[in-house]
Amino acid sequence: MNSWHHSALAQGLLRCHDCTALWPLALEEQHCPRCGALLHSREPNSLVRTWALLITSALLMLPANLLPIMRVTMLSSQGDASTIMGGVIELTKHGLWGIAIVVLAASILIPVGKILALGSLLIAIQFGKATNLKQKMVMFRIVHWIGRWSMLDIFVVGILVALVQFGNLAYIVGQTGALAFAGVVVFTMLAANTLDTRLIWDRHLQEASIGSET
């Protein structure tokens, strides 16, 4: 099982990404006879595209965290620009530790963790030794599943801005940081989608079979 010969590609087969049908490799770059999707044995340019999306997300992390995501104006105060981290600190000041941790996790820990995790997978595929693969797959699955939860803060901003509309008394306005942050979420999700995990297995299995032959 743990040899290269047991991979579909080594047996001359490719799997349709959408309907899971197996076809001979000759159908590469053609449309799946069953569902019509374009067939690829491996995601085309997976590494380059994932790197591009990942670097974009990493760069967007800066404005997402430095620029305010909303501005709160209440009675006399001239308007507090609130960043993501500012919002978390505000929550802890009110003693709302549980919610503060949820927001901190969704808005900062998950995006940063995702970028680091996908980056480490890419480096492992391109340069490193492909070891502890089961562990890496678990990490990838968590990253893939959890990514959408980062939209939390964007939704919160939308809800707060829609609710707090009391003219001179109190109102909240959305700010550019929210745009950058939404970008981070969308681009990291796309990055997880374009990363083809079979590449890391290919590398691992080919290394293993070369090792066993010598």
Partner 1 sequence: MNALQPDNRIACHECDLLMQRPLIEGDQVVHCPRCGSRLISSHPNSAERSLALALAGLILLIPANLFPVLTLEVLGRQQEQTIFSSAMVMYRDGLALVALTILLFAILVPLCKLLLLTYLSAALHLRARWPLLPLAMRSYQHLDQWGMLEVYLIAVLVSVVKLVDIADVHPGLGLYSLGALIAVTTLSSSQLDPDLFWHQIDELRHQPSPSEARHE
Question: Which helix (H) or strand (E) element contains residue 114?
Answer: helix 110-126
Instruction: Pick between residue 155 and residue 214 the one whose CB is nearest to partner 1.
Output: 155
Q: How far is the CB of 212 from partner 1 (least distance, A)?
A: 16
Q: How far apart are CA 76 and CA 42, in angstroms?
A: 60
- The answer to whether the CB of 14 falls within 8 A of the CB of 22 is yes
Instruction: Pick between residue 49 and residue 214 the one whose CB is nearest to partner 1.
Output: 49
Among the listed residues 182, 151, 148, 203, the one whose alpha carbon sits nearest the alpha carbon of residue 63: 182
List residues binding partner 1 (CB under 8 A).
1-2, 6-9, 11, 13, 15-24, 27, 33-37, 91, 94, 96, 99, 102-103, 133-134, 137-138, 140-141, 148-149, 151-166, 169-170, 173-176, 178-179, 182, 185-186, 189, 197-198, 201-202
Q: How far is the CB of 148 from partner 1 (least distance, A)?
A: 5
112 phi and psi, to 5 degrees?
-65, -45
Q: How far is the CB of 81 from partner 1 (least distance, A)?
A: 13
CA pseudo-torsion sign 26, 28, 30, 36? positive
Q: Which residues fall within 8 angstroms of residue 104, CB to CB, at 6 or more apart?
A: 88
Instruction: Pick between residue 54 and residue 157 the one whose CB is nearest to partner 1.
Output: 157
Q: How far is the CB of 145 from partner 1 (least distance, A)?
A: 9
The letter for the amino acid at 102 is V
Instruction: Pick between residue 47 and residue 179 the one whose CB is nearest to partner 1.
Output: 179
Q: How far apart are CA 131 and CA 3, in angstroms?
A: 14
Tell how far CA 70 is from the center of its chain.
24
* SS3 assignment, position 77: coil
Instruction: Pick between residue 147 and residue 214 the one whose CB is nearest to partner 1.
Output: 147
Q: How far is the CB of 138 from partner 1 (least distance, A)?
A: 7
Q: How far is the CB of 110 from partner 1 (least distance, A)?
A: 11
Instruction: Pick between residue 151 and residue 214 the one whose CB is nearest to partner 1.
Output: 151
